[in-house]
């Protein structure tokens, strides 16, 4: 599968649909407002990411593909911001101005929980004939040079009946598959598409009956829809029950990836992007769905609208190879540069992690939830001896780094030889620097190089010193 995965790199994908700007205000909650029974969020960080159809493109970019976006933008500040983001990421596009404001979704997150979402948009936006023709002309110009087409319909006006049907027809004329992430119950506009990816609620809505999350009911409803709209196949996403692929000649049910879900924002975009990349590379449909399912499982474990990255998917497929997470210090700067280009929120923590226990695991899982990528600085053997004494470490740096790398929450491990990780933190310049709850923030080394510094309380009753003490007690 890893050999197959490499084939998706460089594939050209045309994305047509509703683009939007996702804005996040991140902070902590320590009190309730005296003005109303609502939490007061002290904002410590604000950032923007591409959303909607633009997030499909961002996922494709993360997978190593070359996306090309055709859509509409408002002639306003947020529209200008999005154009700059497209340019910074190197995403090719044709974005036409409209008199309506740029669709913007603003989320306020306090203590890692979403408090409220604010939507800025105009309802029932309709394309005028001139703009509609501009969109279609752009699609027809791009079609000859792309490998596959995605229609990302968020119901905001770009994907009307004419646009969808002409894109499907023109794509079929050039032998290009069309994948659609649908919205609403008007599926006549999707007639003759290659594959549509509804969730269970959308499947129920278009079929006109309440479809329960059971294999038999989903397959029955999907079979009717395939015939009614002359579709090649459906891929139904089923939350905790995974996915179901239904086609006239082949069907399969794919169980979900078992992991804790923190945020489902953008998971559908990830599925569509991964599926498109895989099919563009000629990967068989069963393997393409497997990859899409893996990718979705990764992104729901992150906070906020976050794209899948090629390395994340590759690592997920490399079961039993945690060493791929180990980064030598000379390679660290390049890795950080790549993560920054992909707009990843980087969390850094460090420690000896000599005898790994429940307290360590809980601590690292909480640290990972604060961003997209968790980098762990690991004290070398010589560093541990200077800090802990000649009897430590119990496990050498090779053993400790291998065990750390095997943890799902840990993305990278870097071994450093100094007594403190100051130089390492300076190189990483993390968005979030994390230490244990026994540290006062003003005393944490390297905090001047981090955007935010957070302490996480230890789990009571667990420590390496206690574990060693218990072992020694038993020997006596």
> Which residues form the catalytic set?
269
What does the angle CA 219 – CA 223 – CA 224 come to, to the nearest 5 degrees? 125
Q: For residues 360 and 461, what is the distance between their CA atoms, to the nearest angstrom?
A: 12
Task: Tell me which residue has tokens 């750390």.
Answer: 404
CA distance 333 to 339: 10
To which H or E segment does residue 58 belong?
Answer: helix 53-62
Distance CA 12, CA 4 (A): 17
d(CA 161, CA 324): 47
User: Which residues fall in the annotated binding site for ATP?
Assistant: 199-202
Q: What is the dihedral of CA 429, 434, 438, 440, to 10 degrees?
A: 50
- Cα–Cα distance between 381 and 340 in angstroms, integer? 30
Q: Which two tokens stand for residue 453?
A: 């510094």
Distance CA 68, CA 53 (A): 11
Give the annotated binding-site residues: 199-202
Q: 353 with 404: CB under 8 angstroms?
A: yes
**How far apart are alpha carbons 354 and 425 in whole angstroms?**
21
* 39-52 and 113-120 beta bridge pairing: unpaired
- Asked whether the beta carbons of 219 and 191 are under 8 A apart, the reply is no
DSSP symbol at 199:
B
* Sequence-distant (≥ 6) Cβ neighbours of residue 169 within 8 angstroms: 192
- One DSSP character per residue, 367-423 reads HHTTSSEEEEEEE-HHHHHHHH-TT--SS-HHHHHHHHHTSTT--EEEEE-SSS-HH
What is the 8-class DSSP label of residue 343?
T
What is the per-residue DSSP string for 219-278? Answer: HHHHHHHHHHHT-SEEEEE-GGG-EEEE-SS-EEEEPPP-S--S--TTHHHHHHHHHHHH
- Distance, in Å, from the CA atom of 26 to the CA atom of 33, rounded to the nearest integer, reads 17
The Cα angle at residue 465 between residues 461 and 471, in degrees rounded to 5: 95
């Amino acid at each position: 599968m890893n050999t197959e995965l490499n084939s998706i790199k460089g594939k050209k994908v045309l994305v047509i649909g509703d683009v939007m700007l996702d804005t996040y205000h991140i902070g902590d909650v320590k009190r309730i407002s005296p003005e109303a029974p609502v939490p007061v969020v002290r904002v410590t960080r604000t950032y923007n990411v591409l959303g909607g159809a633009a997030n499909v493109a961002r996922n494709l970019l993360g997978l190593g593909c070359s996306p090309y976006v055709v859509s509409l933008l408002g002639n306003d500040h947020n529209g200008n911001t999005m154009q700059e983001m497209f340019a910074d990421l190197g995403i090719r596009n044709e974005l036409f101005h409209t008199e309506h404001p740029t669709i913007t979704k603003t989320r306020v997150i306090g203590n890692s929980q979403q408090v409220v979402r604010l939507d800025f948009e105009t309802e029932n936006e309709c394309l005028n004939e001139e703009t509609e023709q501009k969109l279609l002309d752009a699609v027809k110009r791009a079609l000859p040079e792309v490998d596959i087409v995605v229609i990302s319909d968020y119901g905001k006006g770009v994907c009307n009946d004419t646009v969808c049907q002409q894109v499907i027809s023109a794509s079929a004329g050039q032998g290009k598959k069309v994948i659609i992430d649908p919205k609403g119950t008007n599926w006549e506009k999707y007639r003759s598409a290659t594959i549509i990816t509804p969730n269970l609620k959308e499947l129920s809505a278009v079929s006109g009956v309440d479809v329960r999350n059971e294999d038999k009911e989903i397959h029955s409803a999907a079979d009717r829809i395939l015939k009614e709209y002359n579709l090649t196949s459906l891929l139904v996403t089923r939350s905790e029950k995974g996915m179901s692929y239904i086609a006239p000649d082949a069907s399969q049910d794919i169980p979900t990836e078992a992991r804790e879900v923190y945020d489902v924002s953008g998971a559908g975009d990830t599925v569509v992007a991964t599926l498109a990349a895989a099919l563009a590379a000629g990967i068989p449909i069963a393997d393409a769905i497997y990859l899409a399912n893996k990718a979705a499982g990764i992104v729901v474990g992150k906070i906020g609208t976050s794209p899948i990255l090629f390395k994340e998917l590759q690592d997920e497929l490399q079961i039993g190879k945690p060493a791929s997470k180990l980064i030598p210090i000379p390679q660290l700067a390049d890795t950080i540069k790549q993560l920054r280009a992909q707009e990843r929120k980087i969390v850094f923590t460090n420690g000896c992690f000599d005898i790994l226990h429940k307290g360590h695991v809980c601590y690292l899982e909480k640290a990972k939830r604060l961003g997209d990528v968790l980098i762990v600085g690991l004290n070398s053997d010589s560093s541990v001896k200077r800090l802990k004494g000649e009897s430590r470490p119990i496990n050498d740096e090779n053993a400790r780094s291998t065990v750390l790398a095997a943890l799902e929450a840990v993305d990278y491990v870097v071994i450093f030889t100094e007594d403190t990780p100051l130089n390492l933190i300076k190189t990483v310049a993390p968005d979030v620097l994390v230490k244990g709850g026994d540290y006062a923030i003003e005393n944490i080394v390297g905090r001047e190089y981090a955007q935010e510094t957070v302490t996480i309380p230890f789990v009571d009753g667990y420590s390496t010193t206690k574990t060693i003490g218990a072992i020694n007690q038993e020997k006596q």
